[in-house]
Amino acid sequence: MKKHIDQNLTKLKFGFYFKKLSLVQIILLSSIILTECFLLYLNLNKIEMESVKVIGSITLVVIWWLPLGSGIANHFRNIWFNLSWLSICILWANIHKDLITSILPVLIYTYLNIARLAVKCIFKYEPIYMLVGKFPHYGYNKIENRESNKEDFIFSGLVFIIGALISMLIEVIV
């Protein structure tokens, strides 16, 4: 099952590239940003409802745990997606005054990029983040034109476990 490399791709150093965002990526990023703007509006106007807390909790899970437990971190290689996710994390940090809740998404974002770059520098290949589960789920890296393998599954599991430990450690320290 070979797939072709996209010709609209401009490669950069350290495994980053420029490519237009897909419609799905735009919808995902826009919905998160709109939700955060809504929460910011409610915070600024001091409107507190139980549903606002639920929306805030779901948003936190999306920007904190989704990159750790799924393959969405693969999209961090795209500079536009990466910068958009960074802005989402920074906006989140400005919404919440609670230190733990505000820094966790930015911390996990930074950790995921460092983990990917470390593997790229040490092992000379781009790791593929995969969905964390009992069994390996296969992914495909269009840039390197390869399918995920056992090492990618182990990498994803280790990244998830270490990310969860970092999250718990931050909870304890702060």
Q: For 70, which DSSP code?
A: S
Tell me the domain boundaries of the chain. Answer: 10-173
- C-beta of residue 91 within 8 angstroms of C-beta of residue 83: no
Angle at 139 between CA 136 and CA 143, to 5 degrees: 145
Average pLDDT over residues 74-96: 92
- pLDDT-derived band at 37 (thresholds 50, 70, 90) equals very high
Say what angle helices 99-123 and 50-64 make with each other, to 10 degrees.
10
| Position with higher pLDDT, 28 vs 123 | 28
Average pLDDT over residues 40-67: 88
Contacts 24+ apart (CB under 8 A), 121-127: 126/15, 126/77, 127/151, 127/152, 127/155, 127/156
Average pLDDT over residues 152-172: 89
pLDDT in tens, 95-123: 887 888 889 999 999 999 999 999 988 98
- pLDDT-derived band at 8 (thresholds 50, 70, 90) equals low
The whole-model pTM stands at 0.84
Q: Average pLDDT, whole number, for the chain?
A: 85
